[in-house]
Structure formats: structure tokens, C-alpha cells
A and B are shown apart, each in its own frame.
Chain A
């Protein structure tokens, strides 16, 4: 005789239908808990994938130098233009290139806008192609002779200028014309995402336009093939430290950068897991409470079922499955809310230029449903045992 069959579920369903409102209130904790878990995992999975994409695109032999070391220094620390040459001379370095970044007041069709301008050395544009600035949607890229030519990011027109700006048009900076010669393809990885809404130009021109002295925002270093990244980082670090007389910079490889992102996500995850855990606990206790009430109300019914041949495991299975179904319904609603929340996060991320898309896998869906049902069933065990321990004679005379 099998204990689990269709009848069991149909009976559980009937019992729940009879107390819809109470069951619905009960599942609230489960809904919140599962929603938090689903949002968390799908966003985490999306982040994971975007980091992986970044690895694939940038390659593992890329090193970045950032200004700043400790907490105080990071405000004042600056990288130097000369650092690029210094690093290029370190053994094992293929090439190094500085990225400059600043806000620039530009005029377009009589309107002033502040835009993000990125400066690079046009001689290195081919080599830097791997970070996503060599592929053009339209036009041509910067060449070493370009001084006042700019390429714009694929979203620059839409998001910043809010006009159909394109090739051969120009932006004015203090009376100087910046001619648009190319439009970049949309960058997919996190790092190159900043090019999407920016203008990119010759770094010498950018320095001339800026009121204050601008220094490298990042120095990107590519290692020679087969080079040990950790040892190379060490050599670069030593070289720079000797030159600067202090360690006011950070040398990171992509692994570390993704770890940094991971630790932030990890912290958010911890908070969400906390919320999820408490909600599920509350949800479980709620289900237990509802089921205990239900056992009391149905004492007589349990007595009848026992009288007409129901065994203890049978009674337990009826109540446990019923509790599991409350959990499952809560889990299904929570799943939808969680997917919705993850969708909103993805949308916000996209609007702010972060290429993060929450990923909802079939495993996540099945896992969330199974988990919510499991929580319900566990919460149902105690009430079910209470129900099954009812003496048939006493239950039958119970009013």
C-alpha cells in the first residue's frame, strides 16, 4: 500500500480550499522568504555570469593599476603620466596604457551638457581593443593624428544628449569643435560599460580642455603570454613604489576585481539570507499554528478516519502533505515576486549602465518550490503527529 498517491493531494487541496483566507495569511512569511531567496540567487547568478563574460572578454592576463592604497591616501593619491612608461619597461609587460576620465561641459545645439569624457592614447587604441573600444557600430576609430575627433558610446545620444546625434556632427567645448567620427558598439562587460554613455578622445586634447590637471584614472596593463600574473604584479608594484617613494596605488588583476565585486554581493546576500531565513522561520511557525488549529477543529474527523481504517502514518501523511501544500502555494507566489524583484534590479542596473541581468534557471524554480514545500512539510510534522495520536473513541465523542 503506497502512502503517497493522488488521493492524498486531492484531499489536502480540498481541506485547504475550505479555509482559503486563513491559509493565505499563513503563507505570507513563506512568500517573503522565498521571494528573497529567488531574487538573491537569480541576481547572484546574473552577476556571476557578467563577471565570467568579463573574464572571457578581458582575458586573465590583464592587470589594472588604481590610484590609492589606504583609506586616507586614496583621496589624494594620484597616478602619474610617467607611470605608464615605467610600467611598460617592467619585464613581462606587453604594453601599458592610461585611461583618463573627467566631466566636460559641452555645447550641442545651443544646450550645455556635462558629459563624461574618457581620454586615451590613440596610438594604443588597437591594443586596447580588448576592453571594448575597438569595435565600432559606425564610422571610424581614433587615429594617432586625431586631436579634435571623438567617438561616442552607443547610448550617448539616447541617454545623455537625448537627440539623434551621429556622425559628422560636433560638440563644442570652449569654442573648440569636437567632431564625431565614430560610434562604438555597445559594450557588454562591466568595465567597458562606462564607454557606452561617454565620449572618448585623445588624452592630450582632454588634458588641454580640462581646467585642472588630470591624472590617469586607471592604467591598464597586458602581460606577455605565459607570464605569471602574481609575480608580474609584484614587479610592477615594486617598481612603482620605488618611484613614488610610497605605496599609494593598487595593483589588481581581474580575479581580485571580481572578488571585490563578489564581496559586496556577498554582504548584500548575507542581509537577504537573514531576511529570508527569518521569514521562512516565521512562515514555518505560521503554518504550524494553522495546522494545529486545523487539527483541533478536525479532531472528530481524525477519529472517524481512524475508526474506518486509517493508520497513524496515513493520518500523518494527510496533514503533512496539507502543510506542504500551504508551503508550496506560498513558494509559488514568492517565486513570482522574487523573479519580479530580480527583473526590477536588472532593469535598474541596465538603466545605470551596469550589464547585470538576473538569471532564473529551471533549477532555481524547482529548487524554490521544493524548498517551500519542504518548509511547509517540516512545519506540518508536529501538528500531524498530534493529529495521529488522537484516540478514535475520544475523537468520535468530541464536540
Chain B
């Protein structure tokens, strides 16, 4: 059987708040396979963001183990982990999180710099991807000169720069109007369908979650439901 790209085994994340301990995740096990499109839903405080952080190797769990390409992250130091993230996982955030002083092109080149790619290669790749997300004409604009939808496209281009297997999106349409949000979701779906990227997406809107092959429902740090989405809406 195919090996999972990311696998978490019985992970818990406990925050020590002095007098009380908060269990953000409570013994979650999950395998994510290549090409899968998974959405995570749940009410506020259910632990969905924490699960995403753990799945994307941003956060080490208090208990349990996380495997990226079957390698346990507990054996890696923070720098190795950063490099694994850089290579394996592309991030899309609700608030875009672009570096404001850098142009779209430079923002997309940044992860390639961290990955140690030479300058001309960085530029070539960034230009190509920005073209693919429809920003070929706006590459030298700074984030504040771009609309919300365009900013999120830059962020997607940045997430794709190192050609990672997994795209992690945390409420990617949360700061966008309906039309731009729709375009961004379509773009993410296409990445999954056409490029075979594994997509992990946190959202609190079921309509958005249904775009995924599968939706996981969390409550109090536990997976309470696992639903296959039969009828995926696909736009032409």
C-alpha cells in the first residue's frame, strides 16, 4: 500500500496555562496520502488549527509522533524541520502573510532562497509560477499595491515555489470577498486535480469544506466524524 505523506500517530497537544491544562489535541491519529484533498472543520477551540500546525510540522506535539514521508520529526532538530517544511509543505494563510517590503516576485523567491537555490533559478521559477497563478503582469508590485485576491495568489505562488507535495491552507478565503474567494478555492482545487498536490485545508464553512475529497470534524481535540464528500462541485 502507498505510504502516507504525513502521518500523525496518537498525537496530543497540551497547553499548560498555569492552573489548568488545555488539551488542544487529544490522541489524534491520521494519515494523509499523496493527492488527497482533506478539509478540517470544527467550532472555535476544537483544535482544528492546532491539528493543521501539527500536520504541517510547524508545531511539535506534546505526545505522539508526526511522520513526514515516514520520517519521525521528533528525531529532527528545529533547523532540519524548517528545511523539511520548506521542501515538503507550502503554506497559505488567512492573512496572506506576505513580506510587505518585498515585491510579489521577491516574496515568491524567498522560500527558494531558503532552500538554497541559485539566484537565476529562483527568479525563473518565481516568474513562471506567478504567471501560472495569473499575476504575470503584476510581479513587481508590492503586496499593498495588490487586491486581496491577488495577494492570496502571490501567497499560493510562494507556497508552490519549492514544488512541495503538500499545500496547507488555513482559512484561505477568510479575508476575501465571495468572488475572489471562489477563484482562490478553484485555484487550490486545480492544484490538487491537475498537479496532484495533497491539500490540507482548515475552514469553518461547510460549503467550502465540501470541495475536499474528505472532511474531518473535530471537537474538543478529537476527531468526531470523517465524511467523504461524494458530490464535489467543480467549475468548468
Interface residues of A (CB under 8 A from B): 1-2, 5-7, 11, 14-15, 17-18, 300-301, 303-314, 392-393, 396
Contact = CB atoms under 8 A, between A and B. Distances in A.
B79 interface: yes
A218 B101 CA distance: 71
B111 A312 contact: no
B93 A396 contact: yes
B146 interface: no
A309 B82 contact: yes
B79 A392 contact: no
A308 B110 contact: yes
Given A14-B102, A311-B82, A305 B58 contact: no
Contacts of B97: 300-301, 303-304, 396
B58 A392 contact: yes
Interface residues of B, number: 30
A305 B79 CA distance: 12
Nearest 3 Cβ contacts at the A-B interface: A309-B86, A1-B116, A309-B114
Contact of A393 (B53, B101, B115): B53
A301 B85 CA distance: 16
Interface string B81-94: 01101110011010
Nearest to B84: A309
Given A308-B86, A308-B159, 11 more contacts: A14-B101, A300-B97, A304-B93, A304-B99, A305-B110, A306-B82, A308-B85, A309-B114, A310-B86, A312-B82, A396-B93
Nearest to A300: B97
Contact of B91 (A15, A307, A310, A311): A307
Contact of B101 (A18, A310, A396): A18
Interface in B111-132: 111, 113-116, 119
B59 interface: yes
A308 B111 contact: yes
Contacts of B85: 307-309
Interface in B133-192: 158-159, 162
Contacts of B53: 393
A309 B93 CA distance: 15
Contacts, number: 69
Contacts of A15: 101
Nearest to B91: A307
B78 interface: yes
A396 B96 CA distance: 11
Contacts of A310: 82, 86, 114
B198 to A, nearest CB: 17
Contact of A7 (B100, B111, B119, B159): B119
A308 B114 contact: yes
Contacts of B100: 18
Most buried by B among A308, A310, A392: A308
A396 to B, nearest CB: 7
Contacts of A313: 79
Contacts of B114: 305, 308-311, 314
A307 B93 CA distance: 11
A1 B119 CA distance: 12
Contacts of B101: 14-15, 17-18
B126 to A, nearest CB: 12
Contact of B115 (A5, A305, A309, A312): A309
Contacts of A307: 56, 58, 85, 91
B78 A308 contact: no
Contacts of A2: 116
A309 B111 contact: yes
A305 B82 CA distance: 9
A262 to B, nearest CB: 51
B158 A311 contact: no
Contacts of B109: 7
A304 B109 CA distance: 14
A1 B118 CA distance: 9
B79 to A, nearest CB: 4
B110 A312 contact: no
A299 to B, nearest CB: 12
29 contacts: A1-B116, A7-B109, A7-B119, A14-B102, A301-B97, A301-B99, A303-B97, A304-B91, A304-B99, A306-B82, A307-B58, A308-B86, A308-B91, A308-B110, A308-B111, A309-B86, A309-B87, A309-B111, A309-B162, A311-B79, A311-B82, A311-B114, A313-B79, A314-B114, A392-B58, A392-B59, A393-B58, A396-B58, A396-B97
